[in-house]
Amino acid sequence: MTFTLGEQQKILMGTLKENGVSLVGFGDVSVVKIELTENFPVAISLAVKYSEKVVENLHTNEEAYHKHDIELEAFMKQLINIVENLLSKWDYQYATIPTSILIKDDRQLRELKVFPSKTAATCAGLGWIGKNALLVTPQYGPRIKLGTILTNARFEVGEAIIKDRCRECNLCVEACPYGAIHNVNWKPGIGREALFDAYLCNKMRLNHIPILGRKYECAMCIQACKVGKK
């Protein structure tokens, strides 16, 4: 049986929803002028939500947050597999973006060349970039794990979000224990450095977290955000 492109998009979305995706969107990423997006101009952006309770308690129960994060990572991989299998079945090509990478030092961070999942998500209209440099969704705030598959299937795309909705809020700025967030409102084209110091964030997470008795994460900037909290 052959399906039209529109039917394929409906099947894809329906299958993802049946399997528990929290948000799914399609974005035109050809606005980012690189070889990868020339070949794969459409991004399928997936989000799975974190448990609100686990995030609320992450400063007192870090183990639970870490365990939850690993579970969500595995769950996201399953959803990505579903997309990959359907795209292959329909003879499309795709490139899957890594969901997480352990950054060991400044050099690796400086030289990292990975397509940002947050770009795919704003292009797909899932949310905006907050002052914390994270994707903030109206439904769940920044408490989501993102997954991205770029493809040459010309699915219908959503409307990109090009303006932040943080306004005067500065809860994440206040919550960052290391002052890494600069209290600047995002707009497309603004560099990451203008928003937050990724090197400081990474250094503190790697070096100081164990000294403070925390083993894995920080993530105070995702806990603090009020957007999407029930």
Residues of this chain that interact with ligand B12 (CB under 6 A) are 31-32, 97-101, 103, 112, 114, 116-119, 122-123, 129, 132-135, 142, 144-146, 188, 192, 195-196, 198, 201-202, 205, 217-219, 221-222
Cβ atoms of residues 82 and 16 within 8 Å? yes
Cβ atoms of residues 115 and 36 within 8 Å? yes
Minimum separation from the CB atom of position 13 to ligand B12 (A): 20
13, 25, 26, 102, 149 from 76: Cα distances, Å? 15, 15, 17, 17, 12
Amino acid occupying residue 105? D
Q: Which listed option, ligand SF4, ligand B12, none, makes contact with residue 166 (CB within 5 to 8 Å by class)?
A: ligand SF4
Comparison of 83 and 221: residue with beta carbon closer to ligand SF4: 221
Q: Residue 49: what are its φ and ψ, rounded to 5°? A: -85, 145
CA 151 to mean position of chain CA atoms: 18
Cβ atoms of residues 188 and 122 within 8 Å? yes
Minimum separation from the CB atom of position 102 to ligand SF4 (A): 14
Comparison of 119 and 132: residue with beta carbon closer to ligand SF4: 132
Comparison of 47 and 166: residue with beta carbon closer to ligand SF4: 166
Comparison of 6 and 210: residue with beta carbon closer to ligand SF4: 210
Q: Which listed option, ligand SF4, ligand B12, none, makes contact with residue 157 (CB within 5 to 8 Å by class)?
A: none
Report how far residue 148's alpha carbon sits from residue 120's, in angstroms, rounded to the nearest whole number: 7
* 45, β-bridge pairs: 25, 148
Cβ atoms of residues 28 and 42 within 8 Å? yes
Query: Alpha helices, DSSP H only, in 28-179?
Result: 35-39, 52-56, 62-89, 106-111, 117-123, 171-175
Comparison of 28 and 62: residue with beta carbon closer to ligand SF4: 62
Q: Which listed option, ligand SF4, ligand B12, none, makes contact with residue 128 (CB within 5 to 8 Å by class)?
A: none
Comparison of 142 and 153: residue with beta carbon closer to ligand B12: 142
Q: Which listed option, ligand B12, ligand SF4, none, makes contact with residue 135 (CB within 5 to 8 Å by class)?
A: ligand B12
Q: Which listed option, ligand SF4, ligand B12, none, makes contact with residue 131 (CB within 5 to 8 Å by class)?
A: ligand SF4
Q: Which residues of the shown chain bind ligand SF4 in the complex (CB under 6 A)? A: 130-132, 136, 166, 169-172, 175-176, 178, 180-181, 196, 201, 204, 218-221, 224-225, 227
Neighbours of 21 (CB within 10 A): 20
